[in-house]
A and B are shown apart, each in its own frame.
Chain A
Amino acid sequence: MRGGTKGWLWPALIAAVLIGAVLSIGVGSAAIPPARAFAALLGRGDPVERAILVELRLPRAMLGLAIGAILGLSGAALQGYLRNPLAEPSVLGASNGAALGAVVAIYFGLASSSAALLPLLAIAGALVALALLSLLAGRSESALTLILAGVAVSTLAGAGISLALNLSPNPFAAMEITNWLLGSLEDRAFSHVLLALPPIALGAALLAWDARAFDALTLGEDGAAALGVDLARTRLRVLLGIGIGVGGAVAVSGAIGFVGLIVPHLVRPLTDRSPSAILWPSAAAGAALLLLADVAVRVIPTTNELKLGVVTAFLGVPVFLVFLMRERRLW
């Protein structure tokens, strides 16, 4: 087990991501045979097919890849940082904060005045949620304080979203908000990719910075501090990384839950179980999972297109059940 992972893990993950990406570009409501799709991607072939592939499916695949990766990485980093296998970005209120920011944009009609306003408000919402979190958690470096403060912030943001739905001036606005809260990668363009990638890359860098600190935290906060970890700075980097990275993702895709929860659990048994070893494999597995879920959304025949967040939520429940059964020693 060199480098903390089983030898075949990375080849398998790369294969899964590639399969996900190829299916994501190849599968859709317009059936385009592989040979013609390949030609279109190389700039030849039918212009309509090229438009579908390059302007619709390619950005969708790229977003699935990047958003899945940051969600998986955030989950792995947070589980390591909080030493809690049930942690994921929504625990800190970042996801709900971002969603509230976006809902505000829709509710006040700001989203229609400028396309960039919704994503910007989503990122701002995530950062405001995390600033509030820091304020509530105070100078304490303890993970428990942070989780409690996160529940409070998350609940507050959730209440704000419900309020917006409750007071919504017309059913269309309410429907738009609901649609957005379900999470989807439908009809995204390259402008969305350009908008999401910078914050996602910055967030990933901030989260990956502290891999060693997460390992040291296996020994608790005192143990980590005695191994040279600056807990206050680690916390700042983790909060900013989650806020910026997940904020950027939610800004484009809407709320997609559970990826950050599921993926580290799938990956962990295939590593030496140290928090640093699951970070990048979780990013790759998150990308593969979201790409495949997004393909499933297109393949499963429904009258309204199935929303991505709904699919991932259904996938999340079994993970909780497995945990529950292990706790009760039924399995």
Chain B
Amino acid sequence: MSTFIKDFIEKEKINRRNFLFTSACGLGGAAAMGVLGPGMARAALTDPTIAWSYRNRTNPYWNEIVSGGEAFVESLGMPKDALTHLINEGSSEKSLADVKAILAKTGGNLALAIDTNDAPNARPVVGAVAEAGAYVSTLWNKTDDLHPWDFGDNYVSHMSWSDEGPAEQTARVLLEAMGGKGGVVHLGGIASNNPAIERLNGLKNALKDYPDVELLAAEPADWDTQKANQVMSAFLTRYGDEIAGVHCANDTIAYGVLEALRAEGIEGMPIVSYDGNPQAVQLVAERKILATVFTNPHWGGGITAALAYHAAIGTFKPSEEPNEHREFYGPTIMVQPDDALEFKANYLDSVPTYDWTDFWGPSNGPIVYK
């Protein structure tokens, strides 16, 4: 894998270099100066390098995020290769080292979108970017005490998702479909993952209003279809007919659950899931899943890059924006059978063309700390 990834990064670097050469030829000295000149202590940058730092592309979710970043770059009239990919492979150390390397290479003329891999890594990354006079927007990971407004303009924004509310909504759909009584089982993500914890909490919150429904069991299925399949089979042995509904932490788990039920010839069991993958949406349309939640990773990836870029070139001044424009939740859309096909046509079959300067329109309010 490592050589594969290394080759990939190398290729991306070369593409980036080719782009620099072309832009230097095409746009002349101005562009070349912007890229090569010292980028320190400027109010706004000209033609900054746009980079996305993330885990890797083999994960469908991150693939969507980065495709959003590429769509944004293309909207600026550049080829999508113009987006520099910094791939951390799940290593915070590599994530930070990559950022420092690209800051040195660009002399701080950089608009960076990043998921820092874990929360503690956000501070050194943001610190390094601010010191170099570059601009950064973060996604998902940061500690609660780290805020964009403590870094002037250079830490542009942070976007995250809270899954508790939406998971509670899908749970209510499920519990209604069960007629408000019977047993429910939950198949969760990797036990220590924050979204896994929040999605189970969502179910628990909804259960408070349904005293006749019993949470029979909640087991981690590690976001994995085959694991979910086995766990669901074992649930069927333990609880049999007591199970009247299944709450899945994401779509890939739901696929495994559906197949475990199919093996037993059980049809029409109420199931809800999360993530809004295309196949899950199709299954919602067929009423095999009753609800899923779409978090629009494409938009999230694009707008994070757009925020960093437009702050960098001076389209808006982050420090003049209210706090809810600098720390906010990403969009969530609940998909149910009646609107599934329409949703699929609008969001999945054809990716909508977003206005990448509408920074906060689809977002979901300021981040609340508990």
Please determine whether chains A and B interact with each other in the same assembly. Answer: no
